[in-house]
Structures are given as C-alpha cells and as structure tokens.
Amino acid sequence: MAIAPDLSGAMKGASVTLRRQKLSRLEKKEMRWGLAFLSPWMIGFLAFYFLPMIASFFFSLLDFNPAVPDQARFIGFDNWRRALFQDEEVWLSFIRTLHFSAISLPISLSFAFFLAILLNSKHVLGKTLYRTLFYMPSMIPLVATVLIWNGVLNEQTGWINVIIEKVTGIQATGTNGIRWLANPRLVYFAYTMFGLWGIGNAMIIFLAGLQGVPTELYEAAEIDGAGWLRRLIHITIPMLTPVIFYQLVLGVIYSLQYFLAPFVLNGGTGFPEGKTRFYMVYFYKQSFTFFNMGYGATLAWLMFIVALILTIILFGTARYWVYYAAEER
Amino acid sequence: MLRTAPSSGHVIPKAVRVAGMRLALTGLTLAVLFLFLIPMVYGVVTALKTDNQISKTGAPWWPASERTFTYEGKEYDIYKVPIGGEIKEWALYKKGRKSSLFIDPQNPDAGPIEWEGSWRQLDRVWEPDPQWSNFPEAWNTIDFIVLLRNTLMYAGITTFGAVLSAALVAYGFARFRIPGKNVLFMLMLSTVILPGAVTLIPTYFVFLQIGWVGTWLPLIVPAFFSWGTNVFLLRQFFMGIPRDLDEAAMIDGASPLRIFISIILPMSTPALTAVALFHFFWAWNDFFGPLIYLAGHPEKFPITVGLTAFNNLYSQNTNLIQAASLISAALPVVVFFLAQRVFMQGVVITGVEK
C-alpha cells in the first residue's frame, strides 16, 4: 500500500538540511490533519469497541443484574466455570449453531456460486434482468422474508407442500405431511431456504470474481482440449478461491450470531425440540430476558473466542487451498 | 487454429449447437428463477385472499371467493352439480340428506329443482375476488405510518452520520502519512468481523446509566463514529482519485478540509451513494439493536420490530401478515430497482478488492 503523498517531489532543489526541517514540519502538519480526519473512527473505536470489550471481560467476573446494580458481586471465574463445565445449554446451543451452519453455509454458497456461473454464461439470454430478480429478495427486510417463507412452508396451506403433493403424489400437506418448521430434522433445511433469499451479495461478488478471471486462461485450456467441467475445476474454482474464502469467513462469523429467524418465528423457545435455540438466542435470553448480564458477558466473550479460533483456523487452512494471483507479481 | 472440416453429417453445425445451449441454459435459469420467486408470488396471492379462503380445503390457489346467488331476497351458495353427464352451477336452495333443492341462476323463474345425492359431496363455485382492502387493513392495523416514520428517521439520520464520518475517516486513511496507519487500518477492518455481542453488555449498561435506553440515541449516536465496511469502500474509491488534483489545490493554498469538500467529495458521488444506500438498507433491516434498546416502547419501534410484534398478535391472519410483509419490503425493492447499478458496484468493491 503506497499511499503517502509524494510531497518530496515538490521540495526538490532545497538544501538537505532545510529540506529535512521543512519536511518534518510538513510531516507533522500532515499527521495532525490525518489524525483529525481519523478521529471519528478513533473515538468510536475506543468508545464502542475497545473499552466495551475490556469492560465486557470485567463484567464476566461479576454476578450482575442492571436492575439492581448495587447488588453486583465479584465472583471471580464462577461465570466461566458455569459456562464451560456446568451449563449444558452453552455447549448444546453452540453445537446446534455449528450444525446449522454446516448445513446452510455450503448450500447457500454453492447456490450463489451456481447462479453466478449461470449468469456469467454467454449462452444465457437476458442476464441483467435475471441478475436483478435473483438479487431482489436480498433487499426485502429479513423479518419480512422470514414471515413470507413461514407462510409458503406452512404444512397445511403453504405452496411448497401443495406443489410437492401435486407433482409427486406423496401426501405432503396436513399433519402427516412435511412439517418443515416443526420437524427437528427438517427445520435447519427450512431455515437454509430463507437464507437463500439473501444470497444476492455473494452472487454479485462471485459474478465479479468470474468476470475477473483472465480470458487467456480459458483460451489456452480450450486449445489444450479441456472441456467445460475441467475448466471449471482447474481454472474457475482456483481463481475464485480468494472470493470463496472471504465469503466463508464472513459466513462463519455471521452464522455464529444467527438470531433473527428463530426469534421472529417462535420467540426463541427453540421450537421444535430446542433445535433452534442457537447460541445467540441463548445469549439473548440470559442477558435480556433474565438480565444475567455478568453471565451474558461471559457468553459473549466465549463467542468472541470461538469466532477468533475459527477465523484463525480458516486463515491457517487458506495457504493450502486459496490461490492468490497477486503473490506471483 | 487448425480444425479439420466436418466430413460427415454426424457433426452438428455450430449454429445449431449454440442455439441448443442457449435454449437449455436460458431455460434452466428461468426454471431456477421461477422456483426462487415462488414464495414472492405466494406472498402476493395470499395477501389478496380472504381468511375464509385460506382455511378452506378445495379452494383455488388464486384469490377468490365463493359465488352466491340472491333469490327472493336471500343469498344461496352456488355448487357444481353433476347432472346428466354435465356440471351445472346451481344455487343450493334447500338442504336435504338424500336429495336437495337447487335453483338455476340462469333460469330462476323455473323454481327449485330437485337433485338426488348429498350436497356435502359437491364443490363450491369460486370466482376471482382479490381482497385489495387487505393492504389498507394491514397498514392500519400495524399502524404503519408510525413504523414508517420511525424507520425513516432512524435510517435517515444514521445514514447521514455514517456517510459523513466514513468519508472523513476514509480520506484520512487514503491521503495522509500517519505513523502506524497500516496497523490502524487493519484494526479497523477487524472490527468488521467482531461479533457485536462482545461489546454489547457494557455498552447497554452505560446507555442504561445515562438514561438512553428506551430512546433512539443508542442506535443513532454510534453511527456518527464511522463503521469499518463503509470506510473501507470509500477509502478504496478515494485512492483511485488522481492525486494531481489535490496537489494542484494544495499549491494554491487550499487546506485539506477544503480539498476534501471541493475535490474529493464531488468526485466520489457514486461511492458515497453506494455507502448511503447500504447504510440506509442496513438500518431499514436492523433488528437486534432496536429490539434491545426500544423494548417496551412500541411507539418507537421501527418496521422490523413492529412487524414481529404484529406477527405475534395476528399469526392466524396469514393474509394480513403477508400484506404487512410486502408493505415493509416495497420501498427497499423499489429503490433497489432504481439504483441497482450503483448498488451492485458497491457490493463488488467491498467483496472482491480485499
């Protein structure tokens, strides 16, 4: 990153000592201006990220309810002990979250990738229109998306079941039918389906990545007789691994914080059979329903540690599969 | 490229092959698009139905109501009556266990006609009858004006703050030599993936202490201190603006603030628009913040939280829920259609150039 303005060019001709003094004075002035411009972020960083993070750790050592702040007690690592060794729900909710991401992330990323390839193909007519229409549901507020899908997946009257029944003849509607949101084995797939309405950004980013692959590579491969599938596996996918990696990291971090759909659909009760009591839902319950804020802060710090570990693991694997063309320059 | 000419009729001509590919791939895309948008169609169609239709089995998929016929001042339901190999649409005049009396609406003067069989086995006749009034009903029931006003205020003010602060900070990162700038920049990017929960509790506690919980302030004020993604996007764009312009202005004695206002900002309209749109829709969509800070103050709810509360109260009225969901989606979707180019370019900058 070469960003420093080239002020030295304007100073040519000045004597060495003079130039030094002048530069350092100019440099100081430049620095002051720069810091002034950065100050909103620096204040914000201290006030809304750095200090709260430290404070959050401190809170995790307290038994604390904001309704009665006077009764706050310092209890050492009791909250941590409880979260790690005694409170089964912490692990269960964490495993549920991972289980759900293990289903939803691969499906939604592959779907976005598939759409991008389709919309990048020179054989598809009317691509701009499809791109707009595939992106459009991403603009719908997530609450509305969840409610629309809640309707369409309704076991009695939802169109998904009605269509499945009409097409396959299997009894899909009614109490013996496909209970998308009430069957513990199906509910993660149902939630994954809502998620597909938000893949617009991933699709656009993949599409831009695809358009950035140098065409010479494909031409060379074609001359060598590589078919469509081989070009996809040996050129397209490797060239897009940085984009896939970026999407994966963001996806993992966001899925740890998955909250909205279970909260909107069942108020965080975990229906069915606790399957949707994800980590963030449990954090919300402890912190803002029971107001156990000391314990809530512990859960939040645990989430941060897990997110950090997962990110480090992902970055650690990156050198085995992510291809950075820039490194060869 | 050397290629032997096709020697036999087995080779399909290229034009035909290309046409085939086009047909297949365009067809595939359309099929996927159709499946993808089915819930949307469902939402619109359901929003136009009556409660009665949604709960009835055997009702058509399109918005309809059961047809009736008024005879001698009274309303009678119309059924599909099979008679003599034909299906007649007759109004049920008098119900009977083994046989019933019907009126032919085409010829009411003929009087009641007796029909042998159980009327319970017969299907009703439906006619298209979209309930447009569901939309105003949902609008009024949810008190959408208040939700809309709250959301617009929240989204508007925070968008202003977010764009202004992000532009200032991005200019600082793009143009000035500051010791440790790269470390600061990385620090800023890392806040983008920091789970919000880890800072939430102390922040909430402080806002509670100063009496801000239950007001919009905890949601609005932080937006004025710049957010990582926005800064990143603007910095990328500012760095692409040629330096010659600022240097010329600097020689003319313009201060950095002057350069920022009269050179950098005017040249960055597309990027600023993209950030403004992103932030606006982010705020429009924001759920967790308002849920926590505005709990117990329904008069301050934005659309997302209001819609959730509405769903909890009216979960039986599927049609109203769908109508309210569509109303809340209308503005973002319309703005997206108008500004999609700027929008998608912004997505690409934040997503790829990392």
Residue B174, domain member (yes or no): yes
d(CA B172, CA A210): 32
Structure tokens belonging to residue A133: 């229409």
- The pLDDT assigned to B278 comes to 87
Residue B224, domain member (yes or no): yes
Query: Of B77, B97, B124, which closes a domain?
Result: B124
- Disruptive mutation site among A46, A97, A123 for chain B (greatest number of B CBs within 10 Å): A123
Identify whether residues B94 and B236 lie together within a single domain: no
Helix (H) or strand (E) holding A103: helix A88-120
d(CA B177, CA A6): 10
pLDDT at B305 over 70: yes
pLDDT tens readout for residues B35-88:
999 999 999 999 898 888 887 777 888 888 888 888 888 888 888 888 877 888
- The pLDDT assigned to B299 comes to 92
Portion 219-248 of A in contact with B at CB < 8 A:
223, 242-243, 246-247
d(CA A105, CA A153): 20
Identify whether residues B241 and B157 lie together within a single domain: yes
The DSSP output letter for A127 is H
Taking residues A228-251, what's their average pLDDT? Answer: 89
pLDDT at B314 over 50: yes
Identify whether residues B106 and B250 lie together within a single domain: no
Structure-token match 């009614």, residue found = A174
Which of B199, B200, B328 minimises the CB distance to A144? B328
How far is CA A289 from its chain centroid? 26
Which residue type does B146 have?
Answer: V
How many Cα atoms within 13 Å fall on the side-chain side of residue A63? 8
Identify whether residues B178 and B268 lie together within a single domain: yes
Does B351 contact A201 at a Cβ distance shorter than 8 Å?
yes
pLDDT tens readout for residues A70-127:
888 899 999 999 999 999 999 999 999 999 999 999 999 999 999 999 999 888 888 8
Which of A53, A141, A205 minimises the CB distance to B329? A141
- The pLDDT assigned to A19 comes to 52
Beta carbons within 8 Å of A200's beta carbon, 6+ residues apart = A134, A135, A136, A137, A138, A139, B347
CATH class of A78-140+197-328: mainly alpha
Q: Which of A26-40, A214-228, A280-294, B66-80 has the highest mean pLDDT?
A: A280-294
Residue numbers of the domain that contains B117 = 68-124
In chain A, what residues touch B201 (CB-CB under 8 Å)?
Answer: 52, 56, 59, 287, 293, 296-297, 300
- The pLDDT assigned to A6 comes to 40
Residue with the larger pLDDT of the pair A42 and A13: A42
pLDDT-based confidence at residue A23 (cuts at 50, 70, 90): low
Identify whether residues B224 and B287 lie together within a single domain: yes
- Is B61 within 8 Å of chain A by CB? yes
d(CA B257, CA B244): 16
Residue B315, domain member (yes or no): yes
Poorest-pLDDT segment among A8-22, A224-238, A271-285, B294-308 = A8-22
Which of B174, B176, B321 minimises the CB distance to A33? B176
Which residue type does B87 have?
Answer: I
Q: How far is B81 from chain A (nearest CA, A)?
A: 25
All structural domains of chain A with their residue ranges:
14-59, 78-140+197-328
d(CA A239, CA A265): 40
Q: Tell me the pairing of strands B99-103 and B126-128.
A: unpaired
pLDDT-based confidence at residue A319 (cuts at 50, 70, 90): confident
Residue B268, domain member (yes or no): yes
A104-121 burial, b for 16+ CB within 10 Å, e for fewer? Answer: bbebbbebbbebbbbbbb
Taking residues B304-325, what's their average pLDDT? Answer: 91
Identify whether residues B147 and B85 lie together within a single domain: no
In Å, the largest CA–CA distance within chain A is: 90
Residue B130, domain member (yes or no): no
How many Cα atoms within 13 Å fall on the side-chain side of residue B326? 22
Identify whether residues B200 and B295 lie together within a single domain: yes
The closest of A305, A291, A303, A241 to A69, measured between CA atoms, is A291
pLDDT-based confidence at residue B89 (cuts at 50, 70, 90): confident
Residue B132, domain member (yes or no): no
Residue B49, domain member (yes or no): no
Helix (H) or strand (E) holding A263: helix A260-266
pLDDT at B7 over 90: no
CATH number of the domain where residue B336 is located: 1.10.3720.10
Arithmetic mean of pLDDT over chain A: 87
Please tell me the pTM assigned to this model. 0.87
pLDDT at B302 over 60: yes
pLDDT-based confidence at residue A184 (cuts at 50, 70, 90): very high
Structure tokens belonging to residue B55: 């709960």
- The pLDDT assigned to A7 comes to 40
Structure-token match 């900070």, residue found = B169
Which of B178, B196, B285 minimises the CB distance to A257? B196
- Beta-bridge mates of residue B113: B102
Identify whether residues B80 and B219 lie together within a single domain: no
pLDDT tens readout for residues B150-178:
999 999 999 999 999 999 999 999 999 88
Poorest-pLDDT segment among A119-133, B117-131, B146-160 = B117-131
How many domains, in total, are found in chain B? 2
Does A143 contact B175 at a Cβ distance shorter than 8 Å?
no
